[in-house]
Amino acid sequence: MLDPQQCRSARLARDARFDGSFFIAVSTTGIFCRPVCPATLPQERHVRYFESAVAASSAGYRPCLRCRPDSAPDSPAWLGTRTTLTRAIRLIDDGALQDGDISSLCKRLGIGERYLRQLFQRRFGVSPKAYSLYRQCLFAKKLLHETALPVVDIAHASGFASLRRFNDAFKRQMLLTPTDIRRRRSRQSAALNLKLAYRPPYRWERLRHFYAVHVIEGLEWIGEHSIGRTIRYGTTTGHFEAVHDPARNQFDVTLELSELGDLNAIVRQIRRMLDLDADTQVIEDHLRQCVPDLALAEGLRLPGSWDVFEAGVRAVLGQQISIAAANRLIQQLVDQLGEGGDQKRRRFPTPEAIAASDLSFLKLPGSRRETVRRLATAYASGEIDNDPQQWLSLKGIGPWTANVVAFRGHGDPDIWLDNDVGVRRALAALTTSIDPAVASPWRSYLTLQLWNQIL
C-alpha cells in the first residue's frame, strides 16, 4: 500500500498510473472511488485510503457510479512474496468457492482453514468467502453497466445459482440494487462489449508486433489497433476482439460466447493475455536500479498465450527452430485438428484430439512428434495439470520449455529465459554484464527489455 502522502498526491493529480493501486473513500458521502474519478475532489480530512475495493466495501462504503471501481485495473496480486495468498486469490477468482468450499480450497493450497482466513483478514479485512462474493458482485456490476444482458443471465455469468441469491448478495455487498445500476445507465449495448482498463504507460505497438510475428491464420487476427482470436474455456467456446483505446487507457472488448457461465474467468484470461494488471512504472523503477546501464522502453507487457496447454504445445513445436518454421507447424496442427465450422475460424486443438492423432502431417523429427502427443495424453488424462514444473517429468520437456510455458501461459512475472537466442544476442551486445537474479521478481520484464534491444 502506498503511504497517505503518495495517495494524496496521486488523487489530486488524478494520475491514471495509480488507477487500481488504491481506492479513495469519502466519509461525508459513504462512497469510494478510483484515483481518476472526475467528481469534485473532497477535502483530505474526509478521505480514507484503501488498498482494495473489497476492503473499502467491507468498511461500509458503496462504489461510485461515475468512476466505477469495477472498471479499475486490478492491483497486481503477485507483488511481493505472498505466494500462498497469490495462489489462493487466483483459485478463488477462477471460481474455487463457487464450485467448492473452504475445506476443498485449503486442500489444494496445502494449508489449514484458519491460516487461510488469517491471510485474507490481514490483506483485505474480510474472509475468503466474503472476498469471493464481493468479486462476483463487482463483476456483475460491470455487466449491468456495460451490457444489455438480462439480469438473470448476469446472475448466472457472475457465478450465482439463483436470481434471488444474486439480488440479496448484490444489495448487501454494493449497497445498491441491480435496478439502481440499470436505471442510471446512459446507454445500452445489444452486444457483449466490455471495457478493460490498465495503468499507463502501455507499449501497444511492441505487444502487437509480437502477436503479429506469431499469428496463426484462423485462430488469431491482428489489426493496427486490435487483436482477436477464437477461444475455448471449459465447455464455453467463441471468440473475442480487443481494440486498444489509448486515450482512455483501456481496451474495448467484444465477445461472442456459446454460454455465459465462464464469462468472468474468460475476461480474466483476456486481461492476462494483454497483461493489463501490471504496474509497469513500479517494475521499470526496480529494473533501472538493478540494471542501470540498460536503456529501458516504457510500458512493455508480457505477451500471453490463451491457456497453458496451448502455450506448451507451441513451446514444444518451437524447440530449436525459427519462429517462421514453428508457425508453419502450429498452422498445420490447427488446420488439421482444430475445431470450427470452416477454415476461417478454427479453435486450437483439444488435448484429446492431439493425443488421438499420430501427427504424421507434421514434418518434424519423430521424437518431437511423440513429445507433443505425450504432453497431450498426460494433460487429457489428468496426469499433469497447469503447473509447468510437473511437465518436467515428461520425456522431451526440459526447463526451457517449462519456463516458456510459465512465461506465456501463466504470465509469471519472474521467469528468466537465459537460454533464449534473442536474450543471448542482447546480452552479448551490452558493454557490461547483467546479474538477472537482482531483477527478481521482475525477470520476465527484463527478458522483454532485452528482446526489445534487438527487435
Task: List the catalytic residues.
Answer: 33, 420
- What count of Cα atoms within 13 Å lies in the side-chain half-sphere of residue 267? 27
CA 279 – CA 332 distance, rounded (Å): 37
Q: What angle do CA 395, 400, 405 make, to 5 degrees?
A: 90
3-state helix, strand, coil in the chain (%, to 5): 50, 15, 35
SS3 at position 18: helix
CA 272 – CA 255 distance, rounded (Å): 16
Q: Cell 499420430 appears where?
A: 358
Retrieve residue 51's grid coordinates. 488498498
Residue pair 411/425 in contact by the 8 Å Cβ criterion: no
| Alpha-carbon distances, residue 400 vs 109, 228, 245, 330 (angstroms) | 26, 28, 35, 19
* Phi and psi based region of residue 159 (left: phi greater than 0; alpha: psi -120 to 50; beta: remaining): left
CA 55 – CA 135 distance, rounded (Å): 11
